[in-house]
Amino acid sequence: MRANRSRVITIATILLVVAGLAGGLTALVRSTRDDTADTGRPTPGGGAQIDLMRAVTDYTSRFGPDQGYRRPGRADREDIVTGVGLLLDGHRKQAEKQLQQRDFTVRTVVDRTSGHRYAEVADRTDSAVTPRGWGRVYIDLDHRPNWSVQVPHPVFDRGTEQLGVRVLRGSPGGVLVIAGAHRKAGVGNSADVAHRRDTVFHAICAELARRGMPGIQLHGFATASAPGYDVVTSTGAGSAGRQDGRDLADTLGTHGFRVCRAWVRSCPLEGLTNMQGRVADDDHVAFLHVEFSPTARAGGRPAERAAAAVADITRDWAKRPAAH
């Protein structure tokens, strides 16, 4: 009897130890998951906590040629731009109501890496079977929006959307505008937003230029397109950003990049037909068209150096009063 009782006690003790270990392991796994994953849960200060780089990468990972784009109508473009404008002016509730009419959402997100808060303007159809591909916007909520970084060809110009996130993180007061589809997604060149005026992307960038906000547009080129260079810098069709372009080219040079300066010599991929550059020129606003080699936008140290060089310019933009 005593032996049986001892055996029962021993088994009970073992079960308690196993249960305790299982509970501890579960807590450890949960803690690790909370520390590494984008839970989207509100933080104490408000806003869903995310890794902005991962969020943008996940968003663009669905992009592909011949799918995922529908040309917006004029009313679509105008209503979305009105909503973004209200958001820039600090009228959050009105902006949400306006954007909701076109199936766009607004939410506050907190980037884990930088700690910055952004308003995320997103298309509800992004996760649908047939997304419209009208893009996404991130607006700095901790500082007055004063400049933009534009990514017209995500995925097609591989790595430019990740570089755009690095640039946004690098200076206060930024607005990141990302096209919502692969460059080859639409009929003809309908999704090539850098060369069209009838897109949501162009409408938003045009509104930012109208407000006097300088912008830098990120592109990527194949090595064979500009042999001997890592970066091609240009001011597009205008010249308002010429000094900023010189400063950027010089800074890129100090970071070890070989730079072709379009105002000094004839360079490939100068962006003379870029529509966002043309509208910025019409408004006498600085616009930089920057093409990066595959190495410069591949991530790691080269991308960090490229973003650091751009940050020298955008930090200066953040301090300037809007031109209009």
Q: What pLDDT was estimated at residue 39?
A: 45
CA-nearest of 180, 264, 284, 168 to 216 is: 168
> Count of CB atoms within 10 A of residue 130's CB?
10
Burial state string for 182-197 with b = 16 or more CB within 10 A and e = fewer than 16:
bbbbbeeebbbbbebe
User: Residue 127 and residue 41: Cα distance in Å, rounded?
Assistant: 19
Three-state secondary-structure class, residue 70? coil
> What's residue 127's pLDDT?
86
**In the prediction, which pLDDT does 323 show?**
56
Q: How far is CA 106 from CA 68, 91, 133, in A?
A: 21, 12, 17
* HEC per residue, 268-314: CCCCCCCHHHHHHHHCCCCEEEEEECCCCCCCHHHHHHHHHHHHHHH
The residues with which 118 forms a beta bridge, in sequence order, are 109, 140
Residue 324: its pLDDT value, please?
59
| Bridge partners of residue 80, in order along the sequence | none
pTM of the predicted model as reported, rounded to 2 decimal places: 0.86
| CA distance linking residue 201 with residue 151, whole number of Å | 9
Q: pLDDT by residue for the chain (324 residues), tens digit each?
A: 444 445 444 444 444 444 444 444 344 334 333 333 344 555 545 789 999 999 999 999 999 998 899 999 999 999 999 999 999 999 999 999 999 999 999 999 999 999 999 999 999 999 888 999 999 999 999 999 999 999 999 999 999 999 999 999 999 999 999 999 999 999 999 999 999 999 999 999 999 999 999 999 999 999 999 999 999 999 999 999 999 999 999 999 999 999 999 999 999 999 999 999 999 999 999 999 999 999 999 999 999 999 999 999 999 999 987 655
The pLDDT of residue 66:
84
> Which pLDDT belongs to residue 47?
87
